Chain A
């Protein structure tokens, strides 16, 4: 796994992400500066971490989506390279047009930091092969703008094509409004692009990977990615 973590000004979970990538893959990821125009040679996955790129000013992710490095990320994705965007990374991917839709303010208009339950809808993507379809995982969220919204056609297509990968759910996997804490359309927590090589998700699997700190439900995502990349190599 030769991961490249993109650092935009104001990003603040790049250390959490790089530690997790190192813990799971045994290899230190490259940190790539937003003003660079190329990814390191041999990169096999690009990660856009969480944070407040450009202070969330203008609109979450809007300025970062136009950073010089994003052309290289777009090109990498077009060639089928894996791209993972978490939290602000998800917002940036939507703003960059790599994923459809937009992340609006949480319905209760407050930033919420809380462990949530996600139902893994598919296990046949490089991002979710470490889980079983229908499995429920517990991972933390920490955001004020995670309410996924798209037009009805887009939602229908996402659902029809099975591109909703993670959904907010009750601990037993059932859907209920009180567990969809940010009000996302169809309780969507994470989606992939049509080709299935770009994932955006609001929760932070990178913060639930160490037994000594707490839960480890996020580990499956990174372990699955590492296995996918080593088998592809």
Chain B
């Protein structure tokens, strides 16, 4: 083999993130010492990011099939049937480590990578979403990271030309050393024209398309599979640089040659670049692959085989083309000004052979590269159950009205307008519901079908009880889709955790995955794609467990979708679902009382389904005039959001229990302000606020009773204030001002305040 490669030593093996026993496995597998290039290839294929070695055994428990599923996990993205001969292709993926090191490019290439996953399958992207977690607002890095990440997401998506229609932004000290950037892309294709990675046919040309290969991103996936230490900034060269312009051209060119029938198989070059894409195409097709690196378009001269195989330069694709259509495909790529080169061929040998400058730089068994990657059953420790916090033990000096005003202007609950205004959320002209609602609604082609899209997770619940937290993340996604009137179809999961070699972290992972599985089964909401991001730790301190759920639902007629804004004065406000007043792990307990404690609210999946189906029926029947799910901050925050969206207040003084006829307000007044807080700020699950016209009220209550759905009348819309029993009226304009002012104020560089120390202005 090539004489110019460094000798493989134990130190070099360790630098590649491979453990001694893993290296032993390599030597045994190939029967000799690997070359330097081969070592690089193994490190790329066997790192946590690409091999799922710690998570695989647990992911097998997730439900991945269902009526709508066309393609589950294992391809570039999941595919579901949305009716009318159309398929929705979607996936969410993390770009956490690179975004911390270089926020703009890290986030930008996260968006670029997930878009490529979607259009590689033949779908035109129609929407992007994201879920972002940042550290304490008082941490010196937070503002810089938030600013860079948002600019990077916008910079890529806006230029590429896809609307970024939804997402979430949270702050917590546990993300101060490891932020999370989870990006989701959604596309539409004809259901019978989906493209896959598996190569077929021997002697078929393998074509390299897109941008040139440079020295950026080398070992990006390996970097993403390790903890950060003191000198994580030194890892900046492992972050890729994005070029959305090239990606837009690549999209148009790929879709054009797919429509012309030129493509047999296609795989984007994402993590571990040329290595991963070539191996996957061959292995999935039971074929060998020979690559001739002298043909690879390079950005700079003198690149070695090792560098080319590990480069994570962006906006590149690998394809197997129909030989008779090769000239036609090349003409399309030339038209778009993109590189096009035949860099190899398929072989019958099931060997992965890499040639460069006349020498064989790697000769490896192609199936075993993926299949024989180590699989770990890591020990895990399930956390002890935390006590239930009794409402009577929760004490605050603040009145309900004061607490509501403070919460609505807090970092986690305040308006994220400053963020989503930097994303083009209307391009393509199909955005029916813009950011700020329960779920985004995007029309499909000319309608009337539309997709509802959301990203959700409540990390503090997952930390307190991974199983219930995992359930809750799925249930909340399902609920948010339901709240706009959609039928929830399927999810993508983006599982962000700390170091899996620590049993307590592995326990979080196992618990969350079990919870997700249980909820997905109960709600007929299968997982069709996903991504695992481990080692989100710095100096031994891990992030909160954050299994982000990206949910997709379908609306038969988008003009019937529900929004959260009150629609008119004088309408009845109803609370759907039971209220125990669960304050454990609530934002009220954390941000008002300064306690991050207790068991999180349990999730009754049967109640979720029953209550959600009821609400969806009200929307379909045009009875519900406004709908909002109740989540962070509880009932009072949900009502405030509905009021602010409309500029219409509500009189909630006569909260009447329609079943018993007893005025709820009587039990809420008097000397016991504790119960007040639990009622207004408790985070009990499976609940919605719904408004209906007074003329429909009796029929709605009758329907609820017939279906054993707990419904309680809270009050009536109208006026310019929220009036809660026993509280001063809270002006809606005042709430809006607090809601809108925190984030712009923070980002414009006012005094640094931590979430806990934050005082309303």
Contact = CB atoms under 8 A, between A and B. Distances in A.
A binds B: yes
Interface of A: 9-10, 12-13, 15-16, 19-20, 51-52, 54-57, 110-114, 140, 142, 144, 204, 206-207, 210, 212-214
A67 to B, nearest CB: 12
Interface string B243-259: 11110110000000000
Interface stretch (B111-119, B396-404, B419-427): B419-427
A10 B428 contact: no
A-B complex: 9 closest residue pairs judged by Cβ atoms: A12-B161, A55-B245, A52-B159, A142-B424, A16-B429, A113-B424, A10-B245, A111-B422, A111-B154
B431 A9 contact: no
Contact of B159 (A56, A112, A214): A56
Given A10-B159, A15-B429, A142-B158, 18 more contacts: A9-B245, A9-B336, A9-B337, A10-B249, A12-B427, A15-B428, A19-B429, A52-B158, A55-B244, A57-B245, A111-B158, A111-B422, A113-B426, A142-B426, A206-B429, A210-B429, A213-B429, A214-B432
A10 B422 CA distance: 19
Given A13-B427, A16-B429, A140-B426, A51 B443 contact: no
A112 B429 contact: no
A112 B422 contact: yes
Contact of A142 (B151, B244, B337, B427): B427
Given A12-B161, A111-B422, A113-B424, A54 B429 contact: no
B681 interface: no
Interface string B410-424: 000000000011111
Interface string B421-465: 111111111111000000000010001000000000000000000
A212 B249 contact: no
Contacts of A142: 158, 424, 426-427
A140 to B, nearest CB: 5
Nearest to A142: B424
A212 B558 contact: yes
Interface in B148-166: 151, 154-155, 158-161
A221 B159 CA distance: 25
Contacts of A56: 159, 245
Given A12-B248, A112-B421, A51 B161 contact: yes
B159 A213 contact: no
B427 A9 contact: no
A113 B425 contact: yes
B338 to A, nearest CB: 10
B559 interface: yes
Identify which of A20, A56, A110, A114 gathers the most chain B CB atoms within 10 Å of its CB: A110
30 contacts: A9-B249, A9-B337, A10-B245, A12-B159, A12-B160, A12-B248, A13-B427, A16-B427, A16-B428, A20-B429, A51-B161, A52-B158, A52-B244, A52-B248, A55-B243, A56-B159, A56-B245, A110-B151, A111-B155, A111-B424, A113-B420, A113-B423, A113-B425, A142-B426, A144-B158, A204-B426, A207-B427, A212-B432, A212-B447, A213-B429
A110 B443 CA distance: 28
Contacts of A13: 161, 427
Contacts of B430: 213
Nearest to B249: A9
Contact of A110 (B161, B337, B422, B431): B422
A144 B421 CA distance: 11
B108 to A, nearest CB: 12
B447 to A, nearest CB: 7
A207 B337 contact: no
A213 B431 contact: yes
B249 A213 contact: no
Nearest to A51: B161
B561 to A, nearest CB: 10
Interface residues of B, number: 32
B598 to A, nearest CB: 40
A27 to B, nearest CB: 17
Nearest to A20: B429
Given A140-B426, A142-B158, A52 B245 contact: yes
A203 B8 CA distance: 59
Contacts of B154: 111
A212 B431 CA distance: 10
Contacts of B447: 212
Nearest to B337: A9
A12 B245 CA distance: 10
Given A111-B158, A212-B447, A207 B422 contact: no
A113 B421 contact: yes
A110 B419 CA distance: 11
A56 B244 CA distance: 10
B50 to A, nearest CB: 30
Contacts of B336: 9
Contacts of B158: 52, 111, 113, 142, 144
Contacts of B443: 213
A210 B559 CA distance: 12
B250 to A, nearest CB: 11
B432 A213 contact: yes
Contacts of A111: 151, 154-155, 158, 422, 424
A16 B160 CA distance: 14
A1 B431 CA distance: 27
Interface string B323-340: 000000000000011000
A87 to B, nearest CB: 10
B424 to A, nearest CB: 4
Contacts of B161: 12-13, 51-52
A148 B104 CA distance: 27
A206 B427 CA distance: 10
Contacts of A9: 245, 248-249, 336-337
A212 B558 CA distance: 8
Contacts of B249: 9-10
Contact of B422 (A52, A113, A214): A113
B438 to A, nearest CB: 18
A6 B420 CA distance: 29
A13 to B, nearest CB: 6
B421 A114 contact: yes
Contacts of A113: 158, 420-426
Contacts of B337: 9
Contacts of B151: 110-111
A56 B243 CA distance: 11
A111 B158 CA distance: 9
Contacts of A54: 245
A56 B158 CA distance: 11
Contact of B426 (A15, A20, A207): A207
A165 to B, nearest CB: 22
Contacts of A112: 421-422
B147 to A, nearest CB: 9
Contacts of B423: 113
A106 to B, nearest CB: 11
A52 B155 CA distance: 11
A144 B428 CA distance: 18
B565 to A, nearest CB: 13
Contacts of B428: 15-16
A112 B559 CA distance: 27
Interface in B134-181: 151, 154-155, 158-161
A180 to B, nearest CB: 16
A102 to B, nearest CB: 20
A15 B431 CA distance: 14
A229 B531 CA distance: 54
A20 B432 CA distance: 16
A218 to B, nearest CB: 10
A114 B435 CA distance: 11
Nearest to A12: B161
A172 B101 CA distance: 46
